[in-house]
Amino acid sequence: MYSLDDTIAAISSPIGEGGIGIVKMSGPDVLAILQAVFVPSKTENGSVAGWQPLSHRLYYGHIVDPQTREVVDEVLVSYMKAPRTYTCQDVGEINCHGGIVPLRRVLELTLQRGARLAHPGEMTLRAFLFGRLDLAQAEAVLDVVRAKTEAGLRVAVDQLGGLLSAEVRTIRAELLNVLAYLEALIDFGDDEIPEQDVAASLQTASRAMEQLIESADRGMIYRQGIKAAIVGRPNVGKSSLLNRLLRTSRAIVTALPGTTRDTLEETLNLQGIPLILVDTAGISESDHLVERLGIERSRQALAGADLAILVIDAHEGVQETDREIADLIGDKPAILAFNKTDLPVVADLDGLLPEARAVWLSALTGEGLEELEDVIVDLVFSGQVPTSETPLVTNPRHRQALLEALHHVQSATEAQASGSHIDLLAIDLTAAVNALGEITGETVTDDLLQAIFGQFCVGK
């Protein structure tokens, strides 16, 4: 898909003002480009001419335009010789001052001297193609960058370290062993090949895949987060509850009904879960055009949420509007948050969403807030807390590949039990092995690589 003989360059740090910005290069011409644009303050022999850097060392000096001899920036430069680098090629990093202008000027000079601009994710793609990372580890690089919580980061780092890959390779090796046995039977017959317990091997592989698939829901929560819509009629304390959960005054709160007229999203780290809270406008009937638009957005936010937090005014009790909003929630996982318990509470609050968990709280005083957080976590994980020793499937692509592999292994198991010809077993096991190979990269297409690495930033 991409030429590995090109020298590529990109800005690897976020665009904007900062203390340091990094221009990174990878490829065969890295050293020649650095020698052309970088003037060290001194070298081992005391002369800047013929600079020959040692690998994995930092050098202080200046980036200079070779044509005009203009000093572009004061920098630190590192040259890392293949193969002990991120991409397994020669790599150069120029640590500039972190501003848009110096970074772009330095990048332009590297491009003028023969580098080309890297495609999104091309640095990590080269690490994969040269065997430093498998495909699951390469995808984990992006998960590390995008991690929203410490727990999410831990799961991503585990995958980057090969925890999931090792489990998938073990399953794949089990299936390859069975497949080799079946192909030997096809070629040589029963008399020449020692008997092997195919059913036991298939059962072992199936059980391992089922365990990984079961972890996918939890794993993807850490990776993508949970979206919770805070809904209710006007003036029941939705925005106050959002502010309490965030521990900051993010939403405007007044005593006037209808203060919130649009949805407001904020992400909260809730015991390791990236919880995306959506504060919504009060759902009610209104003749005001802006309010009606806000109410419609509230309905859309509720429809797209993973979890609904229905806020009820415990002082006023359940109103007909509350019941109408409960009908909108339907079968979606929900929590009934009975707010304003700092005021006298109406005794009868039953009849809403019988399957929902109920929490009594005061957004004004904070009472009941910890219980609400615990209920959210309990609903999300059902009390299960993952450990670093347990591989978590965090990627929908990996889950789909595991489901496909499991389907083929189950088909092979049924064929073996019914006495079908071993050719049919071999076909299913080949498909299962290929599906697992898509996770780690043993079997992969250019289109898949482009879809995966196209999600990365240019400098990664």
Q: What is the DSSP string of 292-305?
A: HHHHHHHHHHHHH-
Count CB-CB contacts under 10 A for residue 2: 17
Query: How far is residue 237 from each of residues 288, 312, 318, 379, measured CA to CA in Å?
Result: 21, 8, 14, 22
Q: What is the mean pLDDT of the chain?
A: 84
Q: In sequence order, which residues have a C-beta less than 8 Å from that of residue 94 and are 6 or more positions away?
A: 22, 23, 24, 25, 34, 38, 63, 75, 76, 77, 106, 110
Least confident of 226-235, 293-302, 316-325, 389-398: 293-302
Q: How many residues are given for the chain?
A: 460
Q: Is the pLDDT of residue 286 over 60?
A: no
Residues 52-94: tens digit of each pLDDT: 899 999 999 999 999 999 999 999 999 999 999 999 999 999 9
Give the pLDDT confidence score for residue 302 in this predicted structure: 81
Q: Higher-confidence residue: 353 or 133?
A: 133
Arithmetic mean of pLDDT, 207-212: 93
Arithmetic mean of pLDDT, 351-361: 85
Q: In sequence order, which residues have a C-beta less than 8 Å from that of residue 202 and are 6 or more positions away?
A: 175, 178, 409, 412, 413, 416
Distance from C-alpha of 318 to C-alpha of 312, rounded to nearest angstrom: 7
Q: Higher-confidence residue: 458 or 192?
A: 458
Q: Is the pLDDT of residue 208 over 80?
A: yes
List the strands of the sheet with 357-360, edge to edge: 264-270, 273-279, 226-231, 307-313, 334-339, 357-360
Instruction: Specify the pTM.
Output: 0.74
Q: In sequence order, which residues have a C-beta less than 8 Å from that of residue 127 and are 6 or more positions away?
A: 86, 87, 88, 133, 138
Residues 387-415: tens digit of each pLDDT: 445 678 888 899 999 999 999 999 999 98
Share of the chain above pLDDT 90, in %: 42
Give the pLDDT confidence score for residue 183 in this predicted structure: 85
Give me the residues paired with residue 229 across strands. Answer: 278, 308
Give the pLDDT confidence score for residue 282 in this predicted structure: 64
| Residue environment code for 324-357, b if the CB has 16+ CB neighbours within 10 A, otherwise e | ebbeebeeebbbbbbbbbeeeeeeebeebbeebb
Q: Is 258 helix (H, G, I), strand (E, B) or coil?
A: coil
Give the pLDDT confidence score for residue 113 in this predicted structure: 94
Tell me the domains of the chain and their CATH numbers.
8-133 (3.30.1360.120), 140-219+395-440 (1.20.120.430), 236-381 (3.40.50.300)
Give the pLDDT confidence score for residue 49 in this predicted structure: 58
Q: In sequence order, which residues have a C-beta less than 8 Å from that of residue 437 and are 6 or more positions away?
A: 172, 443, 444
Residue 299 and residue 324 in contact, taking contact as beta carbons nearer than 8 Å: no
Residue 305 and residue 227 in contact, taking contact as beta carbons nearer than 8 Å: yes
Q: Is the pLDDT of residue 192 over 80?
A: no
| Structural tokens at position 414 | 């049924």
Count CB-CB contacts under 10 A for residue 286: 18
| Structural tokens at position 331 | 């079968």
Arithmetic mean of pLDDT, 185-213: 84
Give the pLDDT confidence score for residue 221 in this predicted structure: 78
Query: How far is residue 421 from each of residues 43, 178, 243, 270, 431, measured CA to CA in Å?
Result: 72, 15, 65, 53, 17
Least confident of 219-233, 308-322, 333-347: 219-233
Distance from C-alpha of 96 to C-alpha of 105, rounded to nearest angstrom: 10
Q: Is 372 helix (H, G, I), strand (E, B) or coil?
A: helix
Residue 247 and residue 269 in contact, taking contact as beta carbons nearer than 8 Å: no
